[in-house]
Amino acid sequence: YVKYKPLAAKLPKKNDTVKLAAVFGLWYFQNVIFNICNKKALGLFPYPWLIASFQLLVGSLWMTGLWATKLQPFPRVNRKFLLALLGPGLFHAIGHTSACIAFTKLAVSFIHVINASEPCFSVVITALHGHFYPIHIWLSVIPIVAGCALAAVTEASFNAAGLWGALVSNVCFVLRNIYSKQSFYEYKHIDGLNLYGCISIVSLLYLIPVAVIVEGRHWLQGYQTAIAAAGSPSSFYTWVLLSGVFYHLYNQTLYQALDEISPLRFSVGDAMRRVVVIIATVIVFRNPVRPLNAVGSAMAIFGTFLYSQATAVGKKGKKKRQMITKKR
C-alpha cells in the first residue's frame, strides 16, 4: 500500500521556507476555520460536553478510515500502550471540553490570549513535578501574566465561568504534555498522528458517559432551539460538522508536520497562529476591542515569543520529540 506520508516529510529540506510556510499556512487556515465553526456551533447549541464529544468522534472515525484504507499504518498496540494512553487521554478530554466551555462564554480572541498563558502553567506545574526551569525562563513569563491580566480586566466579553474554562484547559493541556512525555517515552516508533488518533479515541470513551450525565437531559430542547436559531437544520448541522472535521484536520496537519519543525520554529509559529486567529475572529465576529485590551493581548502574545527564545537557549541542535507535547 501507499503509506500516508507526513506532510512535512515531503519537504526536501528543513530550511525550505516556502514549503514550511505552506504547512504553517494550511495549519493556520484550518485552525481559523475550526475556531469560527466551533464558536458558531456552540453559539447555537451551548452544550460543550456534547460538541466536544462529537468533535472527538469525527477525529476517531477519520483515523479509523485512514487505518482501514491503509493510508495510515495501524500502530502496533499492546496492553501496556493502552494503559499509557489513559492519563494523556483523560487530560485531553477535560482540556478540550473546558476549552469548549470557554467558547460558549467568551470571545474567541480572548480565549486565545488566555491560552497563550500556557507557558506560565507549564513552568509552575513542571516545578511541582520536581523540575525547576532556570530563572530566565521564569522571568520570561512575566509579560504573559501582565498581558493576560490587562486583557482580562479590559475584555468586553469577560465572563468568570468562561475564564475558568480556558484556565482549566491550560492546566490540563500542560498535564497532558507532561504525562505524554513520561508515558510514551518507550513508544517512539508510534508516529505523532497515530498517537493523536489513539488519544482521541480514549478521550471520546471518557467523555461520552460524562456528557450524557452532565447535560444529556437538555439536548433535545437545546437541539430544537438551535434549529430555530440557525434558520434551518442543514445550516446547524453544517457548523457542527465543520467544527468536527476542522478540529481533526488542524491537529492532523500539526502532528504530521511536528517531526520536521524545530521546537523554536514551532513555538514561534504557534504564537503567530494565535495572532492570525485573533485578528480573523475579531473581524468575523466584529468583537469590540478596547485599546488597552489590544495592548494586553499583544503583550501576552509577545511574552510567548520571549518564552520560546528563553526555552530555546541551550537546546539548539537537539532534536526534541514533540509528540503530543505540541506546546513545548
Residues near ligand 3PG, by CB under 6 A: 96, 99, 115
Q: Min. distance of Cβ 57 from ligand 3PG in angstroms? A: 14
Q: Rounded to 5 degrees, what angle do the CA atoms 239, 244, 250 make? A: 115
- Residue whose C-beta lies closest to ligand 3PG: 99
- Cα 132 to chain centroid distance, Å, stands at 25
Q: Min. distance of Cβ 72 from ligand 3PG in angstroms? A: 21
Q: Min. distance of Cβ 252 from ligand 3PG in angstroms? A: 13
Residue 83 or 283 having the CB closest to ligand 3PG: 283
Q: Min. distance of Cβ 197 from ligand 3PG in angstroms? A: 15
In terms of C-beta density within 10 A (0-12 exposed, 13-18 middle, 19 or more buried), how is residue 106 classed? Answer: buried
Residue 184 or 250 having the CB closest to ligand 3PG: 250
Residue 78 or 85 having the CB closest to ligand 3PG: 85
Q: Min. distance of Cβ 41 from ligand 3PG in angstroms? A: 12
Residue 36 or 99 having the CB closest to ligand 3PG: 99
Tell me how far apart the alpha carbons of residues 328 and 326 are, in angstroms, rounded to a whole number: 6
From the list 130, 133, 120, the residue with the least C-alpha distance to 173 is 120
Q: Any long-range contacts for 310-313 (C-beta under 8 Å, 24+ apart)?
A: 310/136, 310/137, 310/139, 310/140, 311/133, 311/137, 311/140, 311/263, 311/267, 312/263, 312/264, 312/267, 313/136
Residue 68 or 274 having the CB closest to ligand 3PG: 274
Is the distance from CB of 97 to CB of 49 less than 8 angstroms? yes
